[in-house]
């Protein structure tokens, strides 16, 4: 009997020697592999916490930073970031959601940009000024009229041709500018057109249908009427198209020449209390109305 007990004890000792030693300081099991034993994590083992990226702490998203600088909207900024147009501290950034610190140097297409307070300036544009930032031919630009309006760099929203007068908005808010110039938002633009002759009732009716073909493309006309109290050569026309010189082209298609063209309403704003060639900042109520478009 003692012999059987000793034999059993011997087998147990030999078995224990062949078993791998378990590290009491770590959880998990062992999986025998050729060349040794490899630790296999236990299902109860907690995964290591995600590494905190310094960039995720504070700051402002790069697309918003670019938009606040007046370059473009956030959506457009995402496309341009992915294309490699943005650099932070000398490094090209293509990562969506990348955050920028106020101390960072940010460049867009090689140009240094900065987030600025959003500004909104409304100009009553006079004749003989072109809607551009500068002109290589030395012609007068609308920027000369608003250069004292704000220290931030502002840009015209849309265009008015050289001989067209009236309301023109300037801002460094890229997202709002994009919204105001996109036809799908139906931003109201009312023009007073002075024609070279009386505007026939039959032609008025053609425009009143709401659709009109100009250069093979449809133009949607929201409203058209004679200007009250004036001759039949004075016509008010409301559209939301942003095509270049579109009002002049509408009348030209019907055989009329526009002698004078004045934009009297833009996105609900009027020229009230703004003399020709002068500007003013938007009121809080006007800004709230724009943001609701």
Task: Please say whether the beta carbons of 67 and 74 come within 8 A.
Answer: yes
**CA–CA dist 105, 289 (Å, integer):** 34
Contact 222, 188 (CB under 8 A): yes
The residue annotated as part of the active site, out of 135, 161, 196, 223, is 161
C-alpha distance across the termini of the chain, in Å: 98
Q: Is 20 helix (H, G, I), strand (E, B) or coil?
A: coil
Examine the residue annotation and report whether 161 is marked as an active-site residue of this protein: yes
Q: What is the CA radius of gyration of the chain?
A: 35
31 three-class SS: strand
- Compute how many other C-beta atoms are within 10 angstroms of the C-beta atom of residue 185: 13
DSSP-derived pairing of the beta strands 269-270 and 155-156: unpaired
Of the candidates 67, 63, 130, the residue with the CA atom closest to the CA atom of residue 99: 63
CA distance 149 to 280: 8
CA atoms of 93 and 107, how far apart (whole Å) = 10
| Residues 218, 246 contacting (CB under 8 angstroms) | no
**C-alpha to C-alpha distance for 283 and 277, rounded to whole angstroms:** 19
Catalytic residue numbers read 161
């Amino acid at each position: 009997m003692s012999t059987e007990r000793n034999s059993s004890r011997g087998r147990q000792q030999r078995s224990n020697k062949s078993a791998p030693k378990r590290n009491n300081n770590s959880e998990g099991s062992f999986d025998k592999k050729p060349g040794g034993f490899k630790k296999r994590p236990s299902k109860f083992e907690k995964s290591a916490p995600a590494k905190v990226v310094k960039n995720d702490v504070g700051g402002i998203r790069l697309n918003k930073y670019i938009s606040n600088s007046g370059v473009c909207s956030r959506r457009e900024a995402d496309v341009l970031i992915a294309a490699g147009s943005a650099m932070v501290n000398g490094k090209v950034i293509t990562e969506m959601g990348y955050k920028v610190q106020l101390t960072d140097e940010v460049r867009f297409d090689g140009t240094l940009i900065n987030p600025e307070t959003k500004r909104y300036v409304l100009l009553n544009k006079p004749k003989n000024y072109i809607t551009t930032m500068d002109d290589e031919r030395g012609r007068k630009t609308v920027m000369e009229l608003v250069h004292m309006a704000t220290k931030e760099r502002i840009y015209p929203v849309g265009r008015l041709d050289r001989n067209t007068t009236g309301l023109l908005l300037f801002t460094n808010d890229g997202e709002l500018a994009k919204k105001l110039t996109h036809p799908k938002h139906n931003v109201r633009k009312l023009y007073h057109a002075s024609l070279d002759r009386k505007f026939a009732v039959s032609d008025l009716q053609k425009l009143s249908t709401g659709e009109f073909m100009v250069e093979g493309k449809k133009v949607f006309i929201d409203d058209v009427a004679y200007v009250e109290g004036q001759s039949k050569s004075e016509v008010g026309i409301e559209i939301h198209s942003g095509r270049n010189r579109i009002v002049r082209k509408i009348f030209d298609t019907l055989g009329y020449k526009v002698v004078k063209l004045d934009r009297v309403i833009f996105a609900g704003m009027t020229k009230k209390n703004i003399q020709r060639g002068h500007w003013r900042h938007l009121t809080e109520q006007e800004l709230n109305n724009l943001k609701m478009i």
